[in-house]
């Protein structure tokens, strides 16, 4: 899977990556400590939502931080499954009377979408009256499944197990996540569908694999990836990353000011770069330190 498609899946719950190479250096997944003059108030951790079995991502600093927190904060608080996600998507995805997806993409992308359909065993009929964003997410998710993505082996289920009986809170709802896509203007939705089709057709391993960047703790590399493909589109980038980061930073800021000590775990793209959560919390007056 190429980089933009993997990043799309990593941003939402339909996420995952290729299996790691047979030999891996010790994982150094990035972790940040958030503090002020009165002490440590929380931690930020970037996740990959679906992983191959037995991917070695944990390290003592992560386990110690979670053990010191008073709650786990995820993008979505309640445990989710495919049925719940499908129902949430279904509440937003349909507009009666839409032309078939192949008639909605630009002329030069029609053959690309047809090839993506053939590769995944799909066709227009399976997406009757579904909006472009919903078609794109499903094509991306099905492509990921064919590459062995395993949400049950992702970071969030393991963090829930490690968290024990402490509260689990969410920064947004599943309907809210899909609503981000549903509110994209038609042109941006078309770009999303076209680029996902390109990525499915041209899928190949890449040395700059998102999971490898994540395992190395290369947040700068992840930030670079978040400006490629469909995320180079300003409207899509604002909707999927920057706008959500601002909302989450406000929530985390308020949570810590109320006295909470959260361990915040969100998709890796949300904690990378100049518009990532670490920088946004610094702008709100917090000291944010990378934990070795």
Sign of the Cα pseudo-torsion (95, 98, 102, 106, in order): negative
Q: b vs e for 165-196, b when ≥16 Cβ sit within 10 Å of the residue's Cβ? A: eeebbbbbebeebbbbbbebeeebbbbbbbbb
Contact 132, 192 (CB under 8 A): yes
Question: What is the tens place of the pLDDT at every residue in 127-167?
Answer: 999 999 999 999 988 887 776 665 666 799 999 999 999 99
| Residue 86, domain member (yes or no) | yes
| Residue 22, domain member (yes or no) | no
Question: What is the tens place of the pLDDT at every residue in 89-117?
Answer: 999 999 999 999 999 999 999 999 999 99
| Residue 194, domain member (yes or no) | yes
| Residue 44, domain member (yes or no) | yes
Domain hosting 181: range is: 3-15+27-290
| Residue 20, domain member (yes or no) | no
DSSP string, 144-161: HHHTT--GGGSHHHHHHH
Residue ranges in the chain assigned as alpha helix (H): 3-11, 60-68, 82-90, 101-104, 107-120, 132-146, 155-163, 174-182, 186-201, 210-216, 219-225, 234-237, 243-257, 277-283
| Residue 201, domain member (yes or no) | yes
| Residue 21, domain member (yes or no) | no
CA distances from 203 to 28, 38, 48, 125 (A): 27, 49, 19, 24
**pLDDT given for residue 83 in this prediction:** 83
| Residue 41, domain member (yes or no) | yes
- In whole numbers, what is the pLDDT of the chain averaged over residues? 88
State the Cα–Cα distance between residues 289 and 274, nearest whole angstrom: 15
State the Cα–Cα distance between residues 179 and 172, nearest whole angstrom: 11
- β-sheet bridge partners, residue 168: 72
Contact 40, 27 (CB under 8 A): no
Split into its structural domains, the chain has a count of 1
Cβ contacts of 78 within 8 Å, gap of 6 or more: 170
Residue 289 corresponds to which tokens in the numbers above? 């330190």
Q: How confident is the model at residue 288 (pLDDT cuts 50, 70, 90)?
A: very high
**pLDDT given for residue 150 in this prediction:** 57
- β-sheet bridge partners, residue 170: 74
**pLDDT given for residue 271 in this prediction:** 96
Among all chains, which residue has been given the structure tokens 């959500």? 244
């Amino acid at each position: 899977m190429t980089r933009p498609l993997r990043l799309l899946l990593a941003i939402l719950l339909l996420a995952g990556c290729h299996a790691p190479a047979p030999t891996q250096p010790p994982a150094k997944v990035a972790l940040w400590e958030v503090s002020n003059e009165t002490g440590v108030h929380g931690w930020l951790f970037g996740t990959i939502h679906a992983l191959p079995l037995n991917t070695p991502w944990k390290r003592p600093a992560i386990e110690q931080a979670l053990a010191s927190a008073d709650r786990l904060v995820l993008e979505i608080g309640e445990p989710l499954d495919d049925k719940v996600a499908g129902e949430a998507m279904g509440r937003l995805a349909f507009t009666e009377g839409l032309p078939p997806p192949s008639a909605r993409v630009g002329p030069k992308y029609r053959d690309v979408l047809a090839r993506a359909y053939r590769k995944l065993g799909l066709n227009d009929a399976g997406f009757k009256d579904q909006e472009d964003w919903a078609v794109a997410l499903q094509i991306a998710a099905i492509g990921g499944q064919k590459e062995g993505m395993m949400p049950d082996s992702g970071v969030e289920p393991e963090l829930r197990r490690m968290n024990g009986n402490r509260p689990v809170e969410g920064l947004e709802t599943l309907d809210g996540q899909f609503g981000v896509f549903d509110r994209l203007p038609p042109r941006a939705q078309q770009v999303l569908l076209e680029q996902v089709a390109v990525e499915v057709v041209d899928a190949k391993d890449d040395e700059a694999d998102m999971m490898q960047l994540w395992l190395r703790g290369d947040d700068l590399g992840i930030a670079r990836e978040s400006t490629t493909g469909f995320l180079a589109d300003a409207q899509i980038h604002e909707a999927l990353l920057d706008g959500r980061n601002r909302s989450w930073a406000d929530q985390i800021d308020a949570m810590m000011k109320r006295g909470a000590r959260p361990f915040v775990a969100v998709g890796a793209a949300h904690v990378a770069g100049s518009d990532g959560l670490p920088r946004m919390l610094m702008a709100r007056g917090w000291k944010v330190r990378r934990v070795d």
